[in-house]
Amino acid sequence: MWWLRKPIASATPNAHRIARSFRVSTSRFGVGQTAGSNRTPLGLHRIATKIGAGWPVGTAFVERQPIGYTWQGLPSAPIAHRILWLEGLEPGFNSGAGCDSRQRFIYIHGVADESKLGQPNSHGCIHMLASDLLCLFDRIEPASMVWIDAD
């Protein structure tokens, strides 16, 4: 996964550069855009919503609401630390009926058990190491672009 940043004074309207790359886990079911597939969608996305600011590291979330902490009875929380909710930007591919990343609740988020990061292990979301996620969360603005590629 790459975080893309467009230079403010870019000479080229579509110029972007890779600001940073991260080791992540994606879907154990592979890549794909179809709703209900549990696959990680490809292509251009933007950060639609940032969730979890102000909550301690280790906060567990269900339906984007904090429900407790990984160190207090939720050691295997599937969504933890922070959430970056993605919105697809390619109509008919990752945006719109039957393929919409936002309607599929595709997030970049942390997990309580980080031992499988780097291996396909999610149900479509992108899992990140807590320290990387916190760094990204604090620096990335809503509407920032994210490119998801199968390579």
Q: What is the pLDDT along the chain (151 residues), one digit of tens a residue?
A: 545 554 455 555 556 667 777 889 999 999 999 999 999 999 999 999 999 999 999 999 999 999 998 887 777 889 999 999 999 999 999 999 999 999 999 999 999 999 999 999 999 999 999 999 999 999 999 999 998 988 7
Pairing type for strands 126-128 and 145-148 reads unpaired
Rounded Cα–Cα distance for residues 39 and 120 (Å): 10
Q: Which of 63, 94, 61, 85 is nearest to 143 (CA)?
A: 85
Asked if 50 contacts 82 with a C-beta cutoff of 8 angstroms, the reply is yes
pLDDT at 20: 74
- Walk me through the domains of the chain, giving residue ranges and CATH numbers: 23-148 (2.40.440.10)
pLDDT score for 47: 97
| pTM for the predicted model, two decimal places | 0.87
Q: What 3-state DSSP class applies to 134?
A: helix
CA atoms of 67 and 51, how far apart (whole Å)? 13
pLDDT at site 74: 76
Report the DSSP pairing between strands 107-110 and 126-128. parallel
* pLDDT computed for residue 75 by the predictor: 79
